[in-house]
Amino acid sequence: MHEQETSQRFERLVLPHLDAAYNLARWLTKRDHDAQDVVQEAFLRAYKAFADFRGDDARCWLLTIVRNACFTHLEKRRSHGGPATSLDEDLHDTGSYDANPEVLLNRQGDRELVRQSIERLQPEYREVIVLREIEGLSYQEIASVANVPIGTVMSRLNRGRQRLQMILSANIAAGDASAAQAKGGVA
Amino acid sequence: MNCNECQPLLGPYADGELDLVTTLDVERHIHLCQACGRASRALAALRTVLTTSGSSNGNGSPPLYFRAPESLRAQIVGQLPVGRIAPAKAALRRRWPMWSAAAAAMVALVGTLAVMLVQQHQPKANPDLAIAQEVIAGHVRSLMANHLYDVESNDKHNVKPWFHGKLDFAPDVQQYDEQAFPLKGGRLDYLAGRPVAALVYGHAKHSINLFTWPAAKDAPETGPTYENRQGYAIAHWVHSGMQYWAVSDTAQTTLQQFVERVTAVQSACHQPE
């Protein structure tokens, strides 16, 4: 009977955060199949550790487990000769938000553009951006999920956002250039 | 405050993570300083793009929030020990196919009894406990059935009049922060034994339901109380003869920011339109 109670409590407290778990895993691994594997693994670990969980809000607790499972998974992928994850090393940080707001706002709603741009971020920047902008966690919660001090969360968010706006601007410019070319305009 | 101090605070300012004094300092500086004002607007534009690109626009590309596929959900639930049964228990299942249904019914019954017992043992019955449960149920129902809005609009001038003639009161409908907490719409709901207004606000990929209805005549004005139930953040207060219940699956701190916006507008003496 105790096992059933644990299971019911787990379903009630942890299962509602399945979407949050999958969302984070999908953004970090960038592949649906890997994300599903990671989430399954994470839920198994979560169930085993559930006896130690006190409290009502299991979201951050679960996301910590998911996040760790993701980074382990990414490590394995790298060591098996997977593609390099950091594609934005050629970006030079200007240290400020200097994108043109109108250029960005023109493309709001362009999910593909935004999705690709976020995926170009390195995992440690992508992680905090996703947790903040898409999952809506507070700095304190992000710090506990990513297991870093709040100051690190703040600086990673800063750099992550600055990089993201540069990537977005670059992608928009590239897209506009090829569209102009396609129309037979000057290259 | 100078630019060197302000720059690193632009992010926390936009995220609502600064204390009030620092928030005001940053705001003042942004209004006076061209460079920081520009940077602040660039950041705001970036966040708008991140938020609005997530909403469904029906063109087939995946949203920014990835929901778990149904097959994954089924697999996870099947993984749980009650589902993944040891051989001995599996035999039990085959003989009594109604086992799991009966177990579920038992749990529901025990759960209801537990709630009733808790309520009986409390020296003064706490009606708020029951309402909190209904508020959560209302929130979950609105999400599950995808029935969040009867009237869908981000303009209070469309939402407020819609309730006219449908309720015996006029809910106070306001817009707060267009970026952080945009108004999405409203609908009728039924709580605490009566029709109520549900105002829906968004935050990133989440929805906040703000339920409101007239309070009892002798109900005292109370400041917001916060709690977390079943993974949902809830806030409750009474103002100007009206009950307010806010519920969401965002972080409690986020709901708190929302409620602070709402109560700030309520405290400012404004004429209801």
Task: Assign B125 a pLDDT band (cuts: 50, 70, 90).
Answer: very low
- For residue A124, the model assigns a pLDDT of 94
User: Which tens digit of pLDDT belongs to each residue from A33-90?
Assistant: 999 999 999 999 999 999 888 877 799 999 999 999 999 999 988 887 766 555 555 5
- Shortest distance, CA B239 to any CA of chain A (angstroms): 28
Q: How much is the average pLDDT of A98-112?
A: 78
φ and ψ at residue B164, rounded to 5 degrees: -60, 125
Task: Assign B113 a pLDDT band (cuts: 50, 70, 90).
Answer: low
DSSP B217: T
φ and ψ at residue B44, rounded to 5 degrees: -60, -40
Residues in chain B: 273
Shortest CA distance from A139: residue in chain B: B17
- For residue A175, the model assigns a pLDDT of 78
CB atoms within 10 A of CB B95: 7
Task: Pick the range with the lowest mean pLDDT from A82-86, B3-7, B42-46.
Answer: A82-86
User: Which tens digit of pLDDT belongs to each residue from B184-227?
Assistant: 999 998 888 888 999 999 998 889 999 999 988 888 888 898 88
Is residue A13 within 8 angstroms of chain B, CB to CB? yes
Q: Most A CBs within 10 Å: which of B80, B248, B252, as the mutation test of the A interface?
A: B80
Of A12 and B38, which is predicted with more confidence? Answer: B38
Of A184 and B228, which is predicted with more confidence? Answer: B228
**Pairs across A and B, CB distance < 8 A:** 175
- Shortest distance, CA B240 to any CA of chain A (angstroms): 31
A137 contacts in B (CB within 8 Å)? Answer: 251
Is residue A170 within 8 angstroms of chain B, CB to CB? no
What single string gives the DSSP state of each residue in A42-69?
HHHHHHHHGGG--SS--HHHHHHHHHHH
| Angle of CA points A168, B181, B44, to nearest 5° | 30
What pTM does this model have? 0.59
Cβ–Cβ under 8 Å, residues A169 and A63 = no
Q: Most B CBs within 10 Å: which of A133, A141, A152, as the mutation test of the B interface?
A: A133
DSSP B164: B
Distance of CA B156 to the CA centre of its chain: 18
